[in-house]
Chain A
Amino acid sequence: MTWVGRAIRRLEDPALVTGRGRFTADLAAVHWLRFVRSPVAAGKIAKIEAPPGALIVTAADLKGVKPIRPMLHKFNYKPIGQPILADGVVRFTGEAIAVVVAASEEEAEDIADQVDITIDESKPVIDAREALQAGAPQIHAEAPGNVVVEGVTETPGFDKVWASAAKTVTVEARSRRQNATPMEARAGHAAYDNATGRVTLTCTTQMPHLTRTAIADVLGLPESELRVIAPDVGGGFGQKMSLVAEYVVLVWLARKLKSSVAWTEDRRENLIAGFHSRDQAITLQAAFDKHAKLLALKTEVISNIGAYSCFPTTCGVEPLMAMAEMPGPYDFRAYSCRARGVVTNTCTMAPYRGVSRPVLTFALERAMDKGAAAFGLDAIDIRRRNLIDKFPYTSVTGLVFDEASYKQTLEMAVKAADVPAFRARQKQARAKGRYLGIGFATFSERTGYGSSAFSARGAEIVPGWETVVLSIDPSGFVEARIGSSPHGQGLRTALAQIIADEIGVAPQFIKVIHGDTDNTPYGWGTFASRSLVIAGGASLIAAKKVRAKLITIASHILEAAADDIVLEDGAAKVAGTDRTVTIAKMAREAYTQTHKFKGEIEPGLTESGTYDPSGTFSNACHIALVEVDVETGRVVIERYVAAEDAGRIINPMIADGQVHGGIAQGIGNALLEEIIYDETGNILTSTLADYLPPTAHEIPPIELHHMETPSTMSNTKAKGLGEGGAIGPPAAVINAINDALSPFGVEIDEMPATPQRIRAALRAKEKAA
C-alpha cells in the first residue's frame, strides 16, 4: 500500500490547532513601525512635518535605495519604478509616504496621526479606459499614454476565417477589483545581529528566496547579509508573492538602528494598499460555423494594473495571461487579441489565485452561452461540440495541453446535477414567480509550469524549477529541505507522502523544512499551482537517489542482490525472507562505516533533486444551481457541483480542501467581493464589513467529483490544483443567474453580480418596456 493517494491527516495541524503555530506577528521587537499613507490618489508632496522628537523616515532619507523596477523584455513593456516610499509624488490612496518608528505599535500610531502631510492634489484617473483617453493624467513619465504593457497577436488569415462565420456573438465582460484577503494580513520583522552584521527578515511571504534577492538588489547588499524566514503563513493566494516595499524599509531600518523593527499591517491597510487584482474589461467576440463549432475568437483586454508594476511577475501577469489562455479548452484555429496593462491612480495589481483565468473564463463561458442561445442550442451541447478531446493538443496560442478529461468531467458534472430534473423544477418554479437557473463552466487550469513557460513571457526573472535536498541523518531521521514555501496548503504533508513511498519511511517521520533562506536550497515558492507538481517532482527525484543508496547499503549489509531488496516500514528487507535491516542502522553506517561499501556510494545520505517541467493542464466542469429573487436581486446558490481532474491525487483530503477553498473564493468573486473607489480615488470598502468575503452562509455544500488522468508531463503524474477551484465559479454562477433571468431578457456580464447590478439590469428592462 502506498502513502500517495491516502487521505492522511496533515503533519502541520497539531501545532496549528493548539495555538503553537508561529506567525510573523507573534515576534516581539524593540521598535515598531507605522506607515503614514497618502489620503489622496494623486498629487505632489509639498511638505511633511513630524511632531517634535518623533523619529520618522521619508524618501529623502532613503538615498541610494533603488526603486522596485521589474522588467519584461517583450510586449512593449515600459519599466516603471516604484519608490520604496513615495518620492515627491503620490500615485494612489494608501501609498506609503513616511514611516514612524516608536517603542510600541500604539505609540507609533499616535505619532503617525500627528504627522502633517501637505499634498498639492491633482486630478486622479481611476478607470483604465479613462486612463487611455487623450488628455488623461500621465502617471509615469516612462509610460506615455499610461500603457505599460501591450500584447498583440493575430493568426495568419484571421479575417478570412472571421468572414466565413455563420454567427458571431459579443461579450462585454467586466470584472471589478478584488483583494485576495488572506486572514493574516501582511507582517514583517527585521532583526539586526550585532555579532555578524546580518539582518534576519521574518515576513509572511510565499517567496522567501526571491524576497531576499529582491531586497538585496534594491538596497545594494550582498545576499549573504540577509536571511529571510517565512514562518507559518496565514494564507496568501498570490497577495504574498510580490515584493512588499514595506519589507525593504524594515531591513533598511534594522541595519540603520542596529536593532529589531516590526510592522503588522492592519486590515484597512491591507484593503487599501495590500495589492488588488482582477480589475479587467474584456471585449470578447466569438465566431461559429453553422454547426455551432467555434471558428475564431477576437478579443481586447484592458487590465487596470494600478499605480505600479508588481515584482517579480510585472503587471503583464494579468493581460498577458488573458492573451495566452483566452482560448480555454476549446478547439479552434483563428485568434486575434490585443491585451493592455494600463496604469491608474489605484492600488497596485498583483496575482491572485487564478490570476486572469476567473475573468477570461467568465468572458469565454458567457460567449459560449450566448453562442448556444444564438443557435437555439443547449449550453451543454455547445460545449460538447467544442471541447478538445485529442491529446497532446496544441492550442491556437501554442500551449500544449497534455492528456485530460474535458468532455468526461462535463458529462460527470451534468449527470450529478441531474439537469432534466432541474429543468422540470425550473419550469414549475417560474409558473409560481420564482426564478431558478443553472450555469456551466468548463475550463482548464495551467499548472506546474517551469522556466520554459516563464521565459516565453520575456521575464527578466524567470522562475520555474525547484530543488529539494533530502537527507537521512546518522540516527535515521529524515529531513527534506525545500526551496518552495507553503502558505497553509498542507504541502509538507503531501511532499512527505511522495518521499515516504520511495524510501520506506512513514510520512510522520519525515520533516519538511521550508521558508528559511539559511536552511533551504534556493527556490521560488508557492504560486501558479506549482508547488505540489514541481517541489513534489524534485522530492521524487531526490528520494529516488536516496532510495538507490539505501538499496546499495542494504545489499551489502544483507548480502543480497539489489533487485531483491524492498524498502518499507522503516527498514530494508530481502523479499521473501525474514532478513531485514532498519533505516536507522543503514543511515548510521552510511556515515560511520563507509569503508564497507567499497566506493560504490558517496559517504552520507544526502541527495538533491531539481525539477523543471514544462507544465501540465488540470481541468474541471463546474455547475451552479441558483435562485434569483427578482424583487431584491438576491442570489442564493442551491447547489454547487464540480467535477475536476488534477491527475494523480497525492492526498485526497488536502486536494478536496484546495478545491473547496478555491470555489468559496470564486463564489465571493461572483457575487460579493468588490473594492470600490469613488471618483476621487478614495476607497469605500476599507473594512471587512464593506468588502465581503463569503461566510459559511453564502457557501452551499460543495459536491465534488473526481477523475484522475495521470499527467504525462509531471514525474509524479500529479497536476496542480491550487487555483482551479477559484477559476470556475464566476462563470458558472453568473451563467446560472442569466439562465434564471432569461424570461426577462436581461443579461449580466459583470462580476460580482451584486443585488444592485441585478436590480439595475431588471429596472432598465422594465423602463425600456
Chain B
Amino acid sequence: MSAKIEIMLTINGRDHAIAVEPRRTLVDAIREDCGQTGTHIGCEHGICGACTVLVDDEPVRSCLMFAVQAAGKQIRTIDGLADGDTLHPMQQAFMDHHGLQCGFCTPGFLMLAVGVLEREPYISDEDLLDVLSSNLCRCTGYQNIIKAVRAAAKEMRGK
C-alpha cells in the first residue's frame, strides 16, 4: 500500500473527487470509488475489452490505465451513454439485432463501437471487423454484434 493521491475524475460530465493509490486502475476507480458499476471487469489483462470506456473520446481498456492518468480527462462510460430515457442508437441497435445475451461484455462493446464510429463514421466493413475483434464476447458468436454495429453506424450517420 502506498499513500493515496487526491484526483478528480470526470465521468459522464460529472466530477468525482476521489483519493486513490497510484496503482489503482481506472476501472476500479470508476466502479468502486465512483460507484459506476455499469463498466465490467473481464480479465484485467487488457485482452477481453469488457472494461472499455472512452477517455477524451478514445476507446481505452480501463483495466490498463491508472486512475491518476485519467484525471482531468473526459471519461464516458455505459452509465452515461443514453440521453436520459432515450437510448443511444448503438444501444437500440444491440437490442433490435440481439447483439447481446448475458450482457457482461456489452458495455465494453458499446463503448468501443461508439468511440470508433464517432471517429470514423464511414468505416469499412473490413476495418469494423478488425475493431470489433479487439473485444471478446462468449455468448453471441459476434454475428449479431456486427449486424447491430452496422445498423447503428447507418443511424448515427443519418443524424
Contact = CB atoms under 8 A, between A and B. Distances in A.
Most chain A beta-carbon contacts within 10 A, residue among B82, B139, B142: B139
Contact of A234 (B1, B32, B40, B146): B40
B102 A19 contact: no
B77 interface: yes
Contacts of A106: 1, 21, 23-24
A267 B41 CA distance: 10
B138 A696 contact: no
B138 A665 contact: yes
Interface residues of A, number: 57
Nearest to A18: B82
Contact of A183 (B24, B39, B138): B138
Contacts of A255: none
Contact of B142 (A13, A14, A21, A696): A696
A615 B32 CA distance: 46
Contacts of A15: 103
B103 A232 contact: yes
Contacts of A689: 45, 47
Contacts of A695: 132-136, 142
28 contacts: A9-B98, A10-B95, A10-B98, A15-B103, A17-B87, A17-B91, A17-B103, A18-B38, A19-B77, A21-B38, A25-B40, A26-B37, A107-B1, A183-B104, A184-B102, A185-B42, A264-B41, A488-B103, A489-B102, A660-B141, A660-B144, A661-B138, A662-B141, A664-B141, A688-B47, A689-B45, A695-B133, A696-B132
A16 interface: yes
B19 interface: no
B18 interface: no
A110 B133 CA distance: 34
A232 B37 contact: no
A19 B107 contact: yes
A661 B38 contact: no
Interface in B82-106: 82, 87, 91, 94-96, 98, 100-106
A718 B55 CA distance: 47
Contact of B103 (A234, A237, A267, A665): A234
Closest 7 CB pairs of A and B: A19-B38, A488-B102, A234-B104, A16-B103, A664-B141, A660-B141, A19-B78
Contact of B95 (A13, A267, A662, A664): A13
A176 B58 CA distance: 39
Contact of A664 (B45, B96, B142): B142
A45 to B, nearest CB: 28
Contacts of A183: 40, 42, 48, 50, 102, 104-105, 136-139
A378 B107 CA distance: 47
Contacts of B24: 106
Nearest to B130: A697
Contacts of B38: 18-21
Interface in A1-60: 9-10, 12-21, 23, 25-26, 28
B74 interface: no
Contact of B78 (A18, A490, A687): A18
Nearest to B143: A660
Interface string B143-159: 11110000000000000
B69 interface: no
Q: Is the interface of B mostly helix, strand, loop or mixed?
A: loop
B104 A18 contact: no
A697 B133 CA distance: 6
A222 interface: no
Given A106-B21, A267-B44, A701-B143, A488 B136 contact: no
Contacts of A653: 98
B140 A661 contact: yes
Interface in B6-44: 21, 23-24, 31-32, 36-44
Given A19-B38, A25-B41, A183-B50, A702 B141 contact: yes
A693 B95 CA distance: 24
B99 to A, nearest CB: 9
Given A17-B87, A234-B103, 17 more contacts: A18-B91, A106-B21, A107-B1, A182-B104, A183-B102, A184-B40, A234-B104, A235-B101, A654-B98, A656-B98, A657-B101, A657-B144, A661-B141, A687-B43, A687-B45, A695-B133, A695-B142
A762 to B, nearest CB: 28
Nearest to A187: B41
